[in-house]
Amino acid sequence: MAFDSLSDRLQYALKKVTGRGKLSENDIETMMREVRLSLLEADVNFKVVKEFTNEVKAKALGEKVFKSLTPGQQVVKIVHEELKKIMGDEAESLTFKVQGITIFMMVGLNGAGKTTHAGKLALYCRKKYNKKPLMVAADVYRPAAIDQLVTIGKQLNIPTFELGTNFSPVEIVEKALQFAKDNHHDLVIIDTAGRFHVNEELMLELENLKAVAKPDEILLTVDAMTGQDAVNVALSFHEKLNVSGVVLTKLDGDTRGGAALSIRRVTGVPIKFMGLGEKLDQLEVFHPERMADRILGMGDVLTLIEKAQDAIDEEEAERMAKKFKNATFDYNDFLKQIKQIKRLGNLKGFLKLIPGLGSQLKNIDIDENKFNYIVAMISSMTEQERKNPDLINSSRKHRIARGSGRDISEVNQMTKQFEEMRQMMRKMMNMSPREMERMMNNMNQPGGMRPGTNVSQSKGKGKNRGRRAPWQ
């Protein structure tokens, strides 16, 4: 698995300090030396390593004390944040034309994975964006290259435009664009020829193609296994073609990780996708955060994030408790709670990436859509309605349903659940300590909580995993 040895080394360097209550400048210095070595060994660009370690050190020394984390844990958190930052922070999506035919052009060196990823992307865009793609075989130097794309097209049931090897790539692309128009394709993915090295001839051809195709995305396909070379290749392509995104391939192999960690920082081009195998569905959006999690070894970091998160949640829960007690809990608060749980949903997404953990998490069933619908419905309320839920009568409910594009029955269901929640909270908050204790004991018995009592647990999300909120 990619990044294994980088992960091991980084974890080793960080484990030494995580449990420590106090860190001296010297401790941080020693640790950073190990972090630096592990990154260099993973073939990360030396400038990136230098910036990275300087940044972490400055932050570690300068950071104010985060009440819920030990200084050691804090350093891990900083390393995690920096890893994420050098990879681009947020996932970057593809650009599509609002109207007309969107055009992607795949470029890159020999064997990087252009042809395979033209297919993967066509499949992805059909599935995810409901596109009707056309693939174009513009690699005219090897008949086998055309056959390869045609075969992929057949497998996916996606048409491939080809004119054999007797036309120039520019002519092929011109004709393909006309064909796409005539046949109502809204996405054209052009597969181009590779070379063993970056050379003038290749760049000239690609520049000509770019001029004709006017692509919305030029996707540079880069083999992650090539480490530092991948970064240099990316720089040369970017200089000539101004590429819009990188597809980092073969991350399923035993890469040391250098390319993933350097490309964005050195070239400024976002990594948009990663290839995780030869099969055509082995494509994933590149999420810097998830990648940082993978590299750092998720277990530790997760606990950390959760701890920090819990601290925030605890304060929030106290505030909420007051609101419940005074019966001022309103739709704005409800919205906040839903957003917190939604975060847990995303958390689940990346937890699944960890081998062995996925199965343990199967009983958390968070349907993101449902949350989104509730958010939409609450967003369709007026501020007054949100603050004063009792205002919401039948005609207002109809308006909310129309505004959010949901069915009236869904609005009714949501307001009912909200009401139940509010009532129950009010009841609980007014219980005597003894009554409360009795109820807690009941909840801790085997078999878990009784239905209808679960939402009261706004504290300590970690302990509540697997329990359903009433709107699920």
Ligand X SMILES: Nc1nc2c(ncn2[C@@H]2O[C@H](COP(=O)(O)OP(=O)(O)OP(=O)(O)O)[C@@H](O)[C@H]2O)c(=O)[nH]1
φ, ψ for residue 87 (rounded to 5)? -90, 0
Instruction: Using the rule CB under 6 A, give the single segment among 1-9, 109-117, 398-406, 410-418 that binds ligand X.
Output: 109-117
Retrieve residue 471's tokens: 């709107």
Please list, in sequence order, all residues whose beta carbon lies within 8 angstroms of the beta carbon of residue 145, skipping any fewer than 6 positions away: 115, 137, 139, 191, 193
Provide the β-strand partners of residue 102: 187
- Under the binding rule (CB under 6 A), the answer on residue 51 touching ligand X is no
Give the shortest CB-234-to-ligand X separation in angstroms.
Answer: 14
Question: What is the DSSP secondary structure assignment for residue 452, as one 8-state letter?
Answer: T
- Smallest distance, ligand X to C-beta of residue 118, A: 8
| Nearest approach, Cβ of residue 265 and Mg ion (Å) | 28
Q: HSE on the CB side for 427, CA within 13 Å?
A: 12
Task: Give the SS3 label for residue 23.
Answer: coil
- Binding mask of the shown chain, residues 133 to 172, with x at each position contacting ligand X by CB under 6 A: ------x-----x---------------------------
The CA distance from 429 to 417, in Å, is: 18
Query: What's the min distance (Å) between Cβ of 113 and ligand X?
Result: 3
Comparing every residue's Cβ against Mg ion, the nearest one is 115
300 binds ligand X (CB under 6 A): no
**Residue placing its CB nearer to ligand X in the complex, 195 or 325:** 195
119, 273 Cβ separation under 8 angstroms: no
Size of the site for ligand X (CB under 6 A): 20
Helix (H) or strand (E) holding 374: helix 368-379
Copy the structure tokens of residue 71.
């200084």
Residue 49 to residues 37, 40, 235, 248, 258: CA-CA distances in angstroms? 9, 7, 18, 20, 10
- The answer to the question of residue 112 lying near ligand X (CB under 6 A) is yes
C-beta of 204 vs 408, nearer to ligand X: 204
Structural contact between residues 469 and 455, judged by C-beta atoms closer than 8 angstroms: yes
* Of 440, 379, 384, residue with least CA distance to 405: 379
Site string for ligand X, 259-288 (x = CB under 6 A): ----------------xxxx----------
Segment interacting with ligand X (CB under 6 A) among 32-40, 41-49, 161-169, 250-258: 250-258
- Does 43 participate in binding ligand X (rule CB under 6 A)? no
Q: Binding of ligand X at residue 110 (CB under 6 A)?
A: yes
**Residue located via tokens 């960080």:** 14
Regarding 249 and contact with ligand X (CB under 6 A), the answer is yes
Length of the chain: 472
Residues facing residue 248 across a β-bridge: 222, 274
Q: Rule CB under 6 A: is residue 116 a binding residue for ligand X?
A: yes
In terms of CB distance, is 121 or 145 closer to Mg ion? 145
Which of Mg ion, ligand X, none does residue 345 bind to, with CB < 5 to 8 Å depending on kind? none
Identify whether the C-beta of residue 20 lies closer than 8 Å to the C-beta of residue 64: no
Contacting range for ligand X; rule: CB under 6 A; set: 51-59, 77-85, 106-114, 125-133: 106-114
- Please name every residue paired with 135 in a beta bridge, in sequence order, or none if there are none: 160, 189
Q: Which residue carries 């252009």 as its tokens?
A: 114
Strand partners, 189: 104, 135
337 binds, among ligand X, Mg ion, none (CB under 5 to 8 A by kind): none
Closer CB to ligand X, 46 or 141, in the complex? 141
Of residues 71, 88, 113, 227, which one binds ligand X by CB under 6 A?
113
Among 71, 88, 108, 288, interactor with ligand X by CB under 6 A: 108
Based on CB atoms, which residue is closest to Mg ion, 147 or 318?
147
Q: Are residues 470 and 417 in contact, defined by beta-carbon separation less than 8 angstroms?
A: yes
Q: Using the rule CB under 6 A, is 53 a contact of ligand X?
A: no
CB of 171 to Mg ion, least distance (A): 19
Binding site for ligand X (CB under 6 A): 108, 110-116, 139, 145, 194, 221, 249-250, 252-253, 275-278
